[in-house]
Structure 1
Amino acid sequence: MPRAIAVVDATSGPPDPGAVDLVLAAGELGEVTALVVGALASGETHDLGTPDVRVLDMADDGAGLADAVVVQSVVDLVHALRPSAVALPAGLEGTRLAARLASRLEAGAATDVSRLWFHDGRVRASKSVLGSRFTTTVEARCPVLVCTMRPQSHRVSTPSDSASISHLTGSSSAAGPWPRLISWAPTPPQARPPLGTARTVVAAGRGLAGHATLAEDLADVLGAAVGATRALVDEGVYPQSLQIGQTGATVSPDVYIALGIAGAVQHMSGAMGASHIVAINNDPEAPIHALADLSVVGDATVVVPRLVEALRSRPSPDGTALP
């Protein structure tokens, strides 16, 4: 029976809800083996929705998903299982790992795909391009396709309560040259939900420069994640991990709130999966207004504080004040 491998990132904590979606996407090709990179506590594996779970414990190494040990471990697993595809989480680390795996396996690679299936005995993948204006189909003309998968909230999981767990011993003995880890620091825990799986995302753009904390204030009131455009990332206001767009993360929240964002296609290509878009921008001709379900033509630095104040003064469903 056809098989696929799904690499689950647990290097900085337990797998997020997007991990189940990744396994389900890979499972559309047949039996799926989940390779969890990082610590995985007992009792968590049944949430991955597959009975075959392998764990590569990287908890004490401070290494990322694209570490040499991870690359070699995935290569070894591919040689052992002969899968049709290797599915990786979308994002910077997943893309780096995809490039290294494709090189080592002499395989085809596709990034930010949304679906996998077979056609005439070959794996095909679909992905959106040019700001989600077009959907393209990629066909693997090689034994295995390496791809990063964007989260799709509509997939439904049927958890497996009888997961078979095996632990792998990582090795980086393959010929280099490999990057060498010089130092690392753990990412401080975040009170906000992860950007990739948040149901509400507040994104800050150039129009909020110098007032970026307003996006954080609004996000905290709504229990939302914070994202940013490349302009603010390049200026050092936000880390690259929070960048949304063609060269950053792809998000599919229920609500996407764009603050001071013009709506350039390079940014919106990462947000068009949102069910609803709310825009606040003082330029009535900004492209974002044509994309939004609700638009406010106004200065975000004036509108957002008033919105936050109004939300905080409104009691929550349990009768208590919002934070």
Structure 2
Amino acid sequence: MYLDLPGLEAFIAVAELGSFRHAASRLGLSQPALTRRLQRLEAVTGAELLDRRAQPIRLTAAGTSLLPEAQEAIARLREAIRRAVDPDQGQRIEIGCLPTLALRHLGPLLAAHGARWPQSEVVVHESSATEIRTMLEQNRIDFALAAIGAERWNVERVPLFEEPFFLVLPKDHRLAERGAVAWAELRDEKMVSTHAISENRRLVDAALDQARVHTTWRVEVRHLATALAMVAAGCGIIALPASALPEPMPPNLTTLRLLRPALTRRVGLLSPRARQLSPAARSLMTEIVARLGGESAAARPSRAGRGALRVAAPRG
């Protein structure tokens, strides 16, 4: 299929402005020239993209499907051209990050980066492990801060630290006064979980299988804040890595160490092998390695602090 970039730009302008006149003005074209571009694009796609009878102009079903993809593709192409023409001055960085790691670690790192690179722009894609791997494999991001799993050959990885999982449960739960709990003791417990494609869910499922514990997820949600609200409401209990534990812990929740097996997740930097990083992106990666490479794997909730995190000294 012929890639009609002028037609896509015309289509995006009309879709965003809802007017042929305003779109032509934005692109510096006459209205007949704009119309010809749109007609060529519709001939290429084989579908009508705009309902010209509506005022303002509306998208057809095909146009609605095409618009977000076209906007993202054009934006990525513009950024790629900018990087190629002026790679040393490229200040825009796109990174993937698991939401739990973004919440716990990214703020101070990006603040320090902004002080050193005041013209830099950082776009953070807070996504699931599956979505991050897709972006890495498609070379759409500079790098990612995520849990390390079974990465493909074209993704490089730099391990940073390991962190343990803890059980989060209401304080009035039958296990709440224990210092630790084995996975086998969770048999027949009601469980709350993040969505099935998350890396945390995969690790927890593997630990339950190893302990030969069969459980049915009673409540499955996408966001951590929702999961914790479900636990607080008594819908079940949840296993989470240390970075995902809120500070402070909600007053009616507590945490226990999980044993047999002692489950951990490895956190690291993942980057596409084929991607050429700008100086700003390399600088940010170096800072992340320096700051997080010495993180202790033994971050544990302090029972005396009623759920506050105590970070042990780095090993070695």
TM-score (norm 1): 0.28
Q: Using CA pairs below 8 Å that are at least 6 residues apart, which structure has the higher relative contact order?
A: 2
Q: Which has the higher helix share?
A: 2
